[in-house]
Structure 1
Amino acid sequence: MEVVRITANLTVADIPSAAPFYRDVLGLSEVEFDLGWVTRLTAPDSGASVQLVSTDATAPAVPAVSVHVVDVDAAYEEVTALGLDIVHPLTTEEWGVRRFLVRAPDGTVVNIVRHAR
């Protein structure tokens, strides 16, 4: 699996209430996207980012991290061959990503994702 980037997903009760800390205190001023239930805030100079997540629109769990990969289909084959717990099957989501969620052996839910170009 070729990993391109890993983004922390912070579970928050209310994104509009949580966002000011990350924006005003940490300087993550650029909103890369906002779907209402997930927002990515980024530092414009460094590209450092965090995603604030209140729920997941289609999956039964909020993942702790999003692992961005070159080939999500190959990653899915690799993970299923290992017999790991698939929390959300390989899906092309309406917001433009192809992804699946897997539970790591330690119990952490991980979003394996490829964004559309």
Structure 2
Amino acid sequence: MRPIRVLTNLGVPDVEEAKGFYTGFLGLSTEEFSLGWVARFTSPDTGASVQLVTRDATAPEDSAMSVQTDDVDAAYAEAQQLGYEIVHPLTTEAWGVRFFVRAPDGTVVNIAGHAG
């Protein structure tokens, strides 16, 4: 798998409530992505970013991190071939395709390929 971007999924009780700290104080002022339950904020100067998540609205379990890849289908096949636990199957969302895989240490990782 070729990762393009790796993001921490930071669990927060309320994205809108948390937004002020991350955009104002930390300077992650560009909102790249927002669905209400998940939003990504990025520094326009450095590209540093964080993804805030209340609870995943379309998967049975929350993920600790998101990895964007250029070939999510190949990543899914590789995860299956290697015998990793698939927590959430390959699913088409409005913004792209993703699946969740459990790392051997128990961490749930969202593997995504974004549309466009």
Q: Which of the five TM-score ranges fits, normalised by the shorter chain?
A: over 0.9
Q: Distance in 2 between matches of 1:12 and 1:59?
A: 17
Q: Give 1:46 deviation, angstroms.
A: 1.2
Q: Distance in 2 between matches of 1:33 and 1:76?
A: 23
Q: Distance in 1 between matches of 2:105 and 2:8?
A: 17
Query: How many residues are matched?
Result: 116
Alignment of 1:89-104 (within 5 A): 89-94=89-94, 96-104=95-103
Q: Give 1:8 deviation, angstroms.
A: 1.0
RMSD: 0.8
The TM-score normalised by the length of structure 2 is 0.96
Q: Distance in 2 between matches of 1:57 and 1:97?
A: 15
Q: Distance in 2 between matches of 1:61 and 1:19?
A: 23
Q: Give 1:42 deviation, angstroms.
A: 0.5
Alignment of 1:42-81 (within 5 A): 42-81=42-81
Q: Can you list the C-alpha shifts for 1:13-32, whole angstroms capped at 9, x where unaligned? A: 11111111111111000111
The TM-score normalised by the length of structure 1 is 0.96
Query: Is there any run of 5+ residues in structure 2 with no aligned partner, and where?
Result: none
Q: Distance in 1 between matches of 2:107 and 2:26?
A: 26
Q: Distance in 2 between matches of 1:47 and 1:92?
A: 27
Query: Is there any run of 5+ residues in structure 1 with no aligned partner, and where?
Result: none
**Partner residue in 1 for 2:10:** 10
Q: Distance in 1 between matches of 2:104 and 2:61?
A: 16
**Partner residue in 2 for 1:23:** 23
Q: Give 1:33 deviation, angstroms.
A: 1.6
Give runs of ≥4 in structure 1 deviating > 3 Å: none
Q: Give 1:76 deviation, angstroms.
A: 0.2
**Partner residue in 2 for 1:106:** 105
Q: Distance in 1 between matches of 2:74 and 2:40?
A: 26
